[in-house]
Amino acid sequence: MNQQTEKNLGLKTASRLDGIGVSKILQISARARELKAEGRPVIVLGAGEPDYPTPDTVKAAAQAAIEANDTHYTPLDGTPEMKQAVQQKFARENDLNFDIDEITVASGAKQILFNAFMATLQQGDEVIIPTPCWTSYEDIVGICEASVVAVPTRPENDFCLEAGDLEAAITPKTRWLLINSPGNPTGAVYSRESYRPILDVLNKYPRVWLLADDIYEHIVHDGFEFATPAAIEPELRSRILTVNGVSKAYAMTGWRIGYAAGPRELIRAMAVVQSQSTSCPSSISQAAAVAALNGPQDFLHERQQSFAERRDLVVDALNRIDGIECRSPRGAFYTFASCAGVLGRKTPAGDLIESDTDFCRLLLEQADVAVVPGSAFGLSPFFRISYATSKQELGEALDRIAQFTGDLSTE
Ligand SMILES: Cc1ncc(COP(=O)(O)O)c(C=O)c1O
């Protein structure tokens, strides 16, 4: 085959993938893995997953499902048992009553988001998302050929969306507002009271739907009471999709089970997307997720406490470092600290830090700690630490960050 022919056969990707790539977080993890393979003692604080194992009762349920030959296609968007477990979860924990046909189950909350946006968005449509936000939102909206309208939030407002900023961002093209509470990467949380003005704005714009990404529901600190919009404002329930999953609460990221509840027309349209992509979520993972949702829940509280201790450890250590400033987040397992104070400084090797991306790159290359720059989430100069790792590793990583930052020179 000559070169010309080879070129003609070259892959031309669809325009819907323009500008969309593997997330920066995965790129950092890949670089960290390379350095580890070279024998470097890299500590990765980039992962968005709890370090706990999946509970034994959940693993046993999966093993039982395999033994019972529960290994075939399941109904399209969830087994009856799984949907019932989700129905009971919403009733028990959120005071929300849904019919079974208002519930959908997919291979992760990410697929739920994908199904919802694929089913409802088209070119020209807009999705309002408070930023900084999880990196995947923009790309999922982009694959659906719609655009994100980023509404910046402020550290002094604990990174929560202000109603006035929301209203100013709404246009005739707005289809969705997406709110993630507790939020990745900032740990922002919305109480019933802080949701109120936002829901009041939505009440005025009946075309705009609300997607509440509640995936970190069970990781809240300082006695914060989790709230979800559909329970706060029943009037809006006909246009709210409440998204959740087992990944973060039950340390089940690899099982790939997410779920949602909302108006049945939307749920039906999402099932159409799923039917032509994955057919159904894994039968074994659904059996495991049923055990997680129906099983003992007391360990969630213990884990919450353990996460809060690690958060305090990280926040205290970061605030002792000259040039770094960190608020104490009230949810999820991330800190989002400013590194504004180190910009303009140089490493002993002579590398100038001009941005959060430089800071994170050099921290990895020269101090063997992987964290994610705020630019990946839409706000600089910040960096995200995932503290879902052992206190020992966190302590060592923070010592290295302090050493690296202390060695920077200002001239
Ligand atoms: C805000 C947010 N939503 C959704 C997800 C996806 O979760 P799942 O593992 O259920 O796909 C993540 C994962 O990191 C996340 O951070």
Task: Kindly give the number of the ligand 1 atom that is closest to the alpha carbon of 110.
Answer: 11
The reported pLDDT for the residue numbered 282 is 98
The CA distance from 243 to 289, in Å, is 15
| Nearest-angstrom CA–CA distance, 53 and 76 | 29
Taking the alpha carbons at both ends of the chain, their separation in whole angstroms is: 57
Q: Is the distance from the beta carbon of residue 187 to the nearest atom of ligand 1 less than 6 Å?
A: no
Does residue 258 line the site of ligand 1, with CB under 6 A? yes
Q: Which of 23, 113, 136, 179 gets mutated to test ligand 1 (max ligand atoms within 8 A of its CB)?
A: 136
Instruction: Establish whether residue 136 lines the binding site of ligand 1, counting it when its CB lies within 6 angstroms of any ligand atom.
Output: no
Query: Of 385, 374, 370, nearest to 315 (Cα)?
Result: 385
Atom of ligand 1 nearest to the CA of 183: 1
Closest CA to 143 of 129, 131, 127, 166: 127
Ligand 1 pocket test, candidate residues 215, 217, 252, 255, most atoms within 8 A of CB: 215
Q: Are strands 174-180 and 147-152 parallel, antiparallel or unpaired?
A: unpaired
Does the Cβ of 182 fall within 6 Å of ligand 1?
A: no
**What angle (nearest 5°) sits at the alpha carbon of residue 94, between those of residues 184 and 330?**
35
CA of 346 relative to ligand 1 center, distance in Å: 36
Each residue's pLDDT tens digit in the chain (411 positions)?
444 444 556 888 888 888 887 777 778 888 999 999 999 999 999 888 888 999 999 999 999 999 999 999 999 999 999 999 999 999 999 999 999 999 999 999 999 999 999 999 999 999 999 999 998 999 999 999 999 999 999 998 999 999 999 999 999 999 999 999 999 999 999 999 999 999 999 999 999 999 999 999 999 999 999 999 999 999 999 999 999 999 999 999 999 999 999 999 999 999 999 999 999 999 999 999 999 999 999 999 989 999 999 999 999 999 999 999 999 999 999 999 999 999 999 999 999 999 999 999 999 999 999 999 999 999 999 999 999 999 999 999 999 999 999 999 986
- Give residue 114 CA to ligand 1 midpoint distance, Å: 12
Ligand 1 lined by 245 (C-beta under 6 Å): yes
| 246 CA from centroid of ligand 1 (Å) | 10
**Which residue's C-alpha comes closest to atom 14 of ligand 1?**
48
| Amino acid, single-letter form, for residue 349 | A
Question: ∠178-380-372 over CA atoms, to 5°?
Answer: 80
Strands 126-131, 174-180: pairing kind = parallel
Indicate whether residue 134 lines ligand 1 (CB < 6 A). Answer: yes
Ligand 1 and 131: CB distance under 6 A: no
Pick from 310, 357, 344: nearest CA to 329: 310
- Decide: 48 in ligand 1 pocket, CB within 6 A: yes
The predicted structure's pLDDT at residue 15: 87
Segment 397-401 long-range contacts (CB within 8 Å, at least 24 positions apart) = 397/43, 397/45, 397/369, 398/313, 398/314, 398/317, 398/318, 400/43, 400/367, 400/368, 400/369, 401/317, 401/318, 401/321, 401/324, 401/363, 401/367, 401/369
Q: What distance in angstroms lies between residue 215's CA and the mean position of ligand 1's atoms?
A: 6
Hey, whose CA ends up nearest to atom 7 of ligand 1? 109
Determine if ligand 1 sits within 6 Å of the CB of residue 142. no
In the chain, count of helices (H) and strands (E)?
14, 13
- The response to whether residue 50 sits with its C-beta less than 6 Å from ligand 1 reads no
